[in-house]
Amino acid sequence: MTYLPLFLKADDEQPVLVVGGGEIACAKTEALASVGVRVDVVAKELGEAIIDMCDEHGFSYEQGEYELRRIEGRRIVIAATDDDALNEQIAHDCRARGILVNVVDNPPLCDFIFPALVRRGPLQVAVSTSGIAPTLARMIKQTLETIVPAEFERLIDFMEAQKTKLRKGLSQIQPRRLFSEDVIRGPIAEEVLEGNVQRAEELFDEALARYPDRHSPALYLVGTGPGNADLVTLKAIRLLGQADVILYDRLAAPELITQYGRKDAEKIFVGKTRCHHHKKQEEIDEIIERHLRDGHIVVRLKGGDPGIYGHAAEEIAIAKKVGVPYQIVPGISAAHGCAAYAGLPLTERNKALSVRFLTLYKDQLHDETFWEGMRYATNETLVFYMSSHNYGTLCEKLIESGFDADTRFLVIEQGTTPYQKEFPGAIGRFEEDYADNKFASPCLMIVGEVTRYYEEFKWKQPPIEEGNFFEELPEKEAA
């Protein structure tokens, strides 16, 4: 069952009708009163508590049977009697007339449900589990009550009082938004929360007079980690909220954008896989440059860490060319994330003294100097990115370079996601064990002594079902 989250405007001309006079009806009436809604109550029997509630808030109440005439002209009706058949009849009557109805403790009959609500004046945070687990919703509400102190109502009132001043001082939307974020996150808000409103106004005026009324473009190369959205950094989350434009590839978890990006930010897909470049790097560079020159804050989301096979240098060069500030926000690399979720250390005393991050392009496959250098890597951990189509050749070349045929490897598909799978083996038996296997993208291969820990140290259970966490690339639009 799906519910659309909405906040309805309270209408004094058409009070909400509550049918019922017991404890549940009283609780619903109190919830409506807490957000300033007017209520009419009708019930065959009215309890003392609901009468007191109505008297306290000036609500009308009437003792009597439910009749069809009572819902005529209503926008919202709450059926809160202890008679299931009557509640069902009220729901039927309301739906026949296009009236929104809530039947207490009966979600299938509800057009809407009541969320657990955290309220700080105009600020309202609603939590719902679609009626499935109200206890969980209540627990989340209790957590939010501690995170959002009651003093936040002062801050909302303060920002409302400064709105006209802010619009006059900063004529453009981006600097106005960034200035507001600085106010809310900084010492001005702290003064407001402590009740020092006059001091806060002085600081606000001083800061506003200094703030530039112009766009402030910037480029942020943000690592999103290997897939699991829980592994992203707090700084990445903060910068996503500032972005005017978000460029993302297929390895960035979609919820990062939906949860932390602004709804009005432009989202541009620029994903690539081998033999399928939805956007070539030159096109990506052009998009970045165009938006920077337009004064936008651009966040470039990259799977893993932006400094590892992420074209970071090329994109930084664009920011330097345009003359705007830039930052690299590190992410957990695929090597670190996949190894950790497979239970592997990447280094180990007397077994793996260092780690190499590698990928095999055509040049390396036939470069004797490259493979000669690998002769000295037998006591290292090797992590091969983006090379699944060459794993067989890779294993052969390592043996030719001096690696023992019994050297262990571990291929990890879709690491850190619910669909992570591991494929262990020895490089001398790769063709025999996996020649016909097509590994899901993305995947990487870890080679070295540390992979011998896999069977003993693995902690992540196999996926319950097969699937792709990362979406396939969409078809590229014709030019």
pLDDT in tens, the chain (479 residues): 678 888 888 777 789 999 999 999 999 999 899 888 999 999 999 999 999 999 999 999 999 999 999 999 899 999 999 999 999 999 999 999 999 999 998 889 999 988 888 988 888 899 998 878 889 999 999 999 998 888 999 999 999 999 999 999 999 999 999 999 999 999 999 999 999 999 999 999 999 999 999 999 999 999 999 999 999 999 999 999 999 999 999 899 889 999 999 999 999 999 865 555 568 899 999 999 999 999 999 999 999 999 999 899 999 999 999 999 999 999 999 999 999 999 999 999 888 999 999 998 877 788 888 999 999 999 999 999 988 989 999 999 999 999 999 999 999 999 999 999 999 999 999 999 998 899 998 999 999 999 999 999 999 998 988 889 887 765 555 44
The sign of the dihedral angle between the CA atoms of 442, 448, 450, 456 is: positive
Backbone angles phi, psi at 37, to 5 degrees: -90, 140
Catalytic residue numbers read 249, 272
Residue ranges per structural domain of the chain: 16-114, 152-210, 218-332, 336-457
CA atoms in the 13 A half-sphere facing the CB of 212: 4
pLDDT value at position 366? 82
Tokens representing 360?
Answer: 């095999």
Instruction: Confirm if 215 and 295 have CB atoms less than 8 A apart.
Output: yes
Residue owning tokens 């709450």: 78
Least Cα distance to 144 among 165, 132, 128 occurs for 128
**DSSP of 174-190, one letter per residue?**
HHHHHHHHHHHHSHHHH
Instruction: Give the DSSP H/E element, type plus range, for residue 101.
Output: strand 100-103
Q: Can you tell me the distance from the alpha carbon of 257 to that of 224, in angstroms, rounded to the nearest whole number?
A: 11
Backbone angles phi, psi at 364, to 5 degrees: -70, -35
Least Cα distance to 374 among 448, 454, 465 occurs for 448
CATH architecture of 218-332: 3-Layer(aba) Sandwich (3.40)
C-alpha dihedral, 188 to 193 to 196 to 202, nearest 10°: 20
Residue 42 pairs with which residues in a beta bridge? 19, 62
**CATH, domain range 336-457:** 3.30.950.10
Instruction: Confirm if 345 and 450 have CB atoms less than 8 A apart.
Output: yes
**CATH, domain range 16-114:** 3.40.50.720
Q: Can you tell me the distance from the alpha carbon of 425 to that of 164, in angstroms, rounded to the nearest whole number?
A: 67
Instruction: Give the DSSP H/E element, type plus range, for residue 266.
Output: strand 266-269
Q: Can you tell me the distance from the alpha carbon of 117 to that of 124, in angstroms, rounded to the nearest whole number?
A: 7
Amino acid code (one letter) for 345: P
Residue owning tokens 């001398």: 428
The predicted model scores a pTM of 0.79
